[in-house]
Amino acid sequence: MLRFTPILLAIAYAIVMYRISVWRTHRELDAKSTELADPALKRMTDRLAAALEIDRVPVYIYEIDPVNGLAAADGRIFITRGFYRKFLNGEVSAEEMASVIAHELGHVALGHARRRMIDFSGQNALRAALMMLLNRFIPFIGAWIANMLTHLLASRLSRGDEYEADEYAAALLTKAGIGIGPQKSLFHKLENLTQQRAGVVPAWLMSHPKTDERIAALEALEQRWGTDG
Ligand SMILES: [Zn+2]
């Protein structure tokens, strides 16, 4: 039994850190968000809701500046204040905002939201636990391996999720009569829009694959579905 104690400790530590991190993120979202009340965007989300055969899509404004969208495991969709401002000043269209909301709905529907809670502190917890373990068996390079494994796991998880959420959004936007066009045009704008986020946003908000690869994936879908927009 004594032999396994360090392993059990490491696992317990990781679970506790993860729980605290999820709780913190939810508390932060509750404290810093209000329900979106924008007639033009409401018309868009109503079209998405109709296509999904649900009453409404719960969209909230999250009061931070970096441009981003995110989904909570309970189904709430958050658009950052910075992103909404881009819509208000005409840099992003209502249809493009709808494509972000559809993408986040994809994360909820496909069950990604909970996994995405493995945010920066969640990753740190995992890294610390792995280090505790690996250092016992392989001193010195244990820490390095723990770092690499954590990074690999986190980016693997998020990359696959992004493509799946994009595909879900493409199908939903097509069904809602909005089309894939706004999704692609937003990706073209995304690079400029997100420049200011470096260093301010938790890591789990920034885990997006390369824009051109996401556009290529969408174009492959269009070919497969035989649609043009
Ligand atoms: Zn995403």
Q: What is the pLDDT of residues 166-222, one digit of tens each?
A: 999 999 999 999 999 999 999 888 766 555 554 444 443 445 567 778 888 999 998
SS3 state of residue 78 = strand
Query: How remote is the CA of residue 37 from the centroid of ligand 1, in Å?
Result: 23
**Residue-range domain boundaries for the chain:** 2-225
CA of 6 to the centre of ligand 1 (A): 36
Whether residue 110 contacts residue 165, with contact meaning beta carbons closer than 8 Å, is answered with: yes
Per-residue 3-state assignment (H helix, E strand, C coil) for 154-172: HHHHHHHHHHHHHHHHHHH
What local confidence, expressed as pLDDT, does residue 49 receive? 97
CATH class of the structural domain 2-225: alpha beta
Distance 208 CA to ligand 1 centre (A): 7
* CA distances (Å), origin 20, targets 7, 27, 81: 20, 10, 25
Query: What is the 159 CA–ligand 1 centroid distance (Å)?
Result: 9
97: pLDDT strictly greater than 80: yes
> Considering the chain, what is the average pLDDT of its residues?
82
CA of residue 199 to ligand 1 center, whole Å: 19
In whole angstroms, what is the distance from residue 52 CA to residue 101 CA? 13
d(CA 159, CA 153): 10
What's the CA gap between 66 and 208, in Å, rounded? 14
The residue with greater pLDDT, 49 or 142, is: 49
Q: Mean pLDDT over residues 61-90, rounded? A: 89
CA–centroid distance, residue 2 to ligand 1 (Å): 43
**Ligand 1 centre and the CA of 162: distance in Å?**
5
Amino acid in position 153: L
Query: Which among 175, 193, 204, 170 is positioned nearest to 78, based on CA atoms?
Result: 204
In this prediction, residue 205 carries a pLDDT of: 43
Residues 104 and 70 sit within 8 Å (Cβ to Cβ)? yes
Distance between Cα 107 and ligand 1 center (Å): 7
Question: Is pLDDT at 56 greater than 90 in this prediction?
Answer: yes
Each residue's pLDDT tens digit, 15-52: 787 778 778 878 888 899 999 999 999 999 999 999 99
Tokens encoding 125: 């917890």
